[in-house]
Structure 1
Amino acid sequence: MKYNIKGICKIYHKEEGWGWISIDGEDDVWVHFSSIQMDGFKSLIKGEAVLFDLEENSSLKEQSRRAVNFKKLVNKFN
């Protein structure tokens, strides 16, 4: 497992609760709403900056690289 990876939400299917995160120079990472650490309705928006741990499991095909312990990065100056 890799820790504290920064990425950008590439796409998120709000109705289905899953999406993909882009990381510079690496393959995209799959994310499920259950891994998002926040109160209320858990969702992402395309282009949001995020921080997560990367779990890799080669026995899973499309979801072999999965984001866990997922947090949105908030700009404190807004």
Structure 2
Amino acid sequence: MRYNIIGVCKIFYEEEGWGWISIEGEADVWVHFSSIQMDGFKLLNKDEKVLFDLEENPNLKEQSRRAVNVRKL
């Protein structure tokens, strides 16, 4: 697990509750609405900066790099 990484929301599918966060110089990271730390309806907007922890699980295919504890900056 890596902590306190800054990234930018690449895309977030509000109706499905998931999206991708870009990290400069690295592969994109998958994010689920349940990992967003905020009250009310949880979503990210395109190009919004976020701070998060990175959980890696090489046994998974697309979601092998997952953002957790996501906080908007």
Same fold (TM over 0.5): yes
Aligned length in residues? 73
Question: Are 1:57 and 2:44 an aligned pair?
Answer: no
TM-score, structure 1 as length reference: 0.93
Report the identity percentage: 78
Distance 1:21 1:70 in 2: 10
Alignment-derived partner of residue 21 in structure 2: 21
Name stretches of at least 5 consecutive residues in structure 2 with no aligned partner: none
Q: Distance in 2 between matches of 1:35 and 1:4?
A: 14
Which aligned segments of 4 or more residues in structure 1 are displaced greater than 4 angstroms?
none
Give 2:36's aligned residue. Answer: 36
RMSD of aligned alpha carbons: 0.3
Gap regions ≥5 residues in structure 1: 74-78
- Normalised to the residue count of structure 2, the TM-score between the two structures is 0.99
Query: Which protein has the larger Cα radius of gyration, Structure 1 or Structure 2?
Result: 1
